[in-house]
Amino acid sequence: MTIAAPTLPAVATRPPNVYVDFCRQQPLGAVSFVIICAMMFAGIFSPLVAPYDPLTIDFASLLAAPSADHWCGTDAFGRDICSRLIYGSRTALVIGFTSSFAGSSIGAILGIASAYFGGKIDDWIQRFVDILLAFPLIVLALVVVAAFRKFTVGGVDVNLIVAIAIPIIPRVARVVRAAALSVRVMPYVDAARAAGYSHTRIIFRHMAPNVVAPYLIMLTAFIAQAILAEASLSFLGLGVTEPTAAWGLMLSGNAADFYRQAPWMVLFPGVAISLAVFGFNLFGDSLRDYLDPRFKV
């Protein structure tokens, strides 16, 4: 007579914490996440973090070198550069995230619609995408911001956001379309069509959730590109204007005139832009590696 081995009770396992798992698999991504969080903290709590008012002019401290009173020195108007850097992070985040979100969302919708409908609709959308892709991002943004009248809402330059968002649309549309083409042939999409569901329901309920990963990756990566584009346009005088604190604006004007006498006027804004772009680019790459199953070990 054979005696069966006793069956051990199943032990419930706790699902891994997504944040801990991300930090464990992508340590560089965790570093970039800390940079982004520090930038967000500085932008949200600027009035509490900044040691001075960024608009206050102090003629007794013109072009003061970095010291205990002014950690990053002062500019040609005696304004504290450290305070302007902190407030400038708010400008960079608002314009960068808003323009990236708008451009990525519109591009994702166009990419999914192009893959779903196919035929002439796909051809027309892709030719429109090809036309926009023929222009470099900063060149197309420069043309748009120069062509339209300046329009602000609540102190935010809407024209600048639109100018940066438009070049993002075709780049996201092309990537999302490639992902949506593989989703379109899935059995559940055919079943939804056979059930008589509307095109809108199939696109937003059955196809869009399955292209979230590339959408999030592109959204994060283009925040860095949007911040760089905003700084470039502000440097050229077509972006944020005085007296608003903005990193690109801090590099233009007086900074270009006094960079030999006061190199900190150029050094610290340049480091802030580089660090922000580096953080978002690195986080986007880490997020891609974490979400893509082909990179799993």
Kindly state whether residue 167 falls inside one of the protein's structural domains.
yes
Cβ burial, residue 15 (10 Å; 0-12/13-18/19+): exposed
Cβ burial, residue 158 (10 Å; 0-12/13-18/19+): middle
Kindly state whether residue 281 falls inside one of the protein's structural domains.
yes
Please give the average per-residue pLDDT across 272-284, as a whole number.
90
Average pLDDT score, the chain: 83
Kindly state whether residue 289 falls inside one of the protein's structural domains.
yes
Please give the average per-residue pLDDT across 156-166, as a whole number.
84
Please give the average per-residue pLDDT across 45-72, as a whole number.
87
Total number of domains constituting the chain:
1
The two tokens of residue 107 are: 């591009």
Query: pLDDT category, 156, cuts 50, 70, 90?
Result: low
- Lowest mean pLDDT segment, chosen from 49-63, 96-110, 134-148, 178-192: 134-148
Please give the average per-residue pLDDT across 215-223, as a whole number.
89
Query: pLDDT category, 11, cuts 50, 70, 90?
Result: very low
**Structural domain range at position 150:** 77-295
- Dihedral sign for Cα 105, 106, 111, 112, please: positive
Kindly state whether residue 124 falls inside one of the protein's structural domains.
yes
Residue 163 has pLDDT above 70, yes or no: yes
pLDDT of amino acid 107: 93
Kindly state whether residue 269 falls inside one of the protein's structural domains.
yes
pLDDT of amino acid 132: 87
Buried b vs exposed e over 276-290: b needs ≥16 C-beta within 10 Å?
Answer: bbebbbbbbbbbbbb
Cα distance between residue 66 and residue 15, in whole Å: 49
Please give the average per-residue pLDDT across 162-188, as a whole number.
89
Note whether 118 and 183 are within 8 A (CB): no
Residue 1 has pLDDT above 80, yes or no: no
Kindly state whether residue 34 falls inside one of the protein's structural domains.
no
Kindly state whether residue 129 falls inside one of the protein's structural domains.
yes
Task: Please state, for a pLDDT cut of 90, what percent of the chain lies above it.
Answer: 22
The model's pTM is: 0.84
Domain of residue 219, CATH code = 1.10.3720.10
Kindly state whether residue 268 falls inside one of the protein's structural domains.
yes
pLDDT of amino acid 12: 45
